Amino acid sequence: MQDRVPDQEPEADREAERRRRRAQFLRDLTEARELRDRVQPRRARAARMRQAVRMRTFRW
């Protein structure tokens, strides 16, 4: 029997796959938000206004 040091390759593969899935999720999320903004312009405008107020009151 040979004692082998476990490869880090599977860990790197898992990390790369996780990053790919996360990137795809974020693309889908952005697309869904854009669609919602087109379908509900009044709600989207209100959300932009709320975000602007939040950003103005945020302290660095």
pLDDT digits (tens, 9 = 90+) for 22-35: 999 999 999 998 99
- 38 pLDDT exceeds 60? yes
The larger pLDDT score, comparing residue 1 to residue 37, is at 37
In SS3 terms, the chain reads as: CCCCCCCCHHHHHHHHHHHHHHHHHHHHHHHHHHHHHHHCHHHHHHHHHHHHHHHHHCCC
Percent of the chain, pLDDT > 90? 47
